Amino acid sequence: MTVTLFTHPDCLAHDPGPGHPERPERLRAILAALDAPDFATLDRREAPLADAAALRRAHSPAYVEAIFAAAPPPGTRVTLDPDTHMSAGSLDAARRAAGGAMAAVDAVLSGAARHAFVATRPPGHHAEPGQAMGFCLFNSVVVAALHARAAHGIARVAVIDFDVHHGNGTQAMAWDDADLFYGSTHQMPCYPGTGAAEERGAFGTVLNEPLPPGAGGATFRAAFDAVLDGMRAFGPELVLVSAGFDAHRDDPLASLMLDETDFAWAAGRLIEVSGGHLVSVLEGGYDLDALAASVAAYLRVIIAQDAEHG
């Protein structure tokens, strides 16, 4: 079969401002790494624009309307929260990020691809139903999960999140949804402050495995396996991944001690438990070299598994 990569040049035009860690160079570094011969078999596709109706499955109509109206003129920026800003290109970038995640779901569920990776920005897992937050405008992975249910007749979807930050927005969207599982490993204490083990959701579909600052690969792997055990008990028909690579030891925004081999291991475990298809959506990762090497290591495992199965 194939592994499909969704990205779009519009995602380089989201400019949150000078010195902001969530910068266009992140995506450039990833795409440069994926120019290596190891990745020649990737089926490369343009991420489409998500429309307002799709975004309204995860966000309030008033919020979607406000973000569509907030895009500022070229050369200016608007601030949505202390960390989250929009430039002229931000709306289309965020719509491509959500649209890429939806297209990735379509690709694996239609049989066009075995697995898919969505290399877009801005990230999404901090975006709340009615509020931009933590560099995120639209919660792409939840938009994709709810698209899978609306368009493909799937009932139960899981989102697994190994970004170093807790996905407060994804948790908020899963909280009252018995058919949406959210499982996360993340550093605690750390931004945004949510994600304690006691936070389980109204139907027990939230599972948090917080990690102490300084935790390394062995601690991460045990916690990640616990998240996957919880996911298996839930019994999803589709597994989406909030793939953030800022738990890397070189990342400037947090202090976990993972390296590329841990992300490669996570890819292998996710494939084992996902029931055949894996859709991974880029979230964080702010050291350019570590980010590029980690995405490459993660994708190498996914490509090799696809090749093995013909």
Enumerate binding residues for Zn ion (CB under 5 A).
163, 165, 244, 246, 284
Residue 115 contacts residue 302 (beta carbons within 8 Å): yes
Distance CA 141, CA 160 (A): 10
SS3 134: coil
Distance CA 280, CA 205 (A): 20
Q: CB-wise, 89 or 244, nearer to Zn ion?
A: 244
Min dist CB 256 to Zn ion, Å, is 11
- End-to-end, the C-alpha distance of the chain in Å comes to 6
Min dist CB 247 to Zn ion, Å, is 8
Min dist CB 244 to Zn ion, Å, is 4
SS3 273: helix
Q: CB-wise, 201 or 244, nearer to Zn ion?
A: 244
Exposure string over 231-260, b if 16+ CB within 10 A, otherwise e? beebebbbbbbbbbbbbbbbbebbebbbbb
Distance CA 217, CA 79 (A): 36
Please give the order of strands across the beta sheet that includes 157-161.
43-46, 3-7, 115-118, 278-282, 238-243, 157-161, 180-187, 206-211
Residue 186 falls in the annotated catalytic set: no
Residue nearest to Zn ion (CB): 284
Q: CB-wise, 15 or 22, nearer to Zn ion?
A: 22
Q: Which member of 59, 85, 126, 147 is catalytic?
A: 126
Min dist CB 267 to Zn ion, Å, is 18
Q: CB-wise, 108 or 132, nearer to Zn ion?
A: 132
| Alpha helices (H) along 135-192 | 140-152, 168-174
Q: CB-wise, 107 or 137, nearer to Zn ion?
A: 137
Min dist CB 65 to Zn ion, Å, is 27
Residue reference for tokens 């560099």: 135
Active site residues: 126
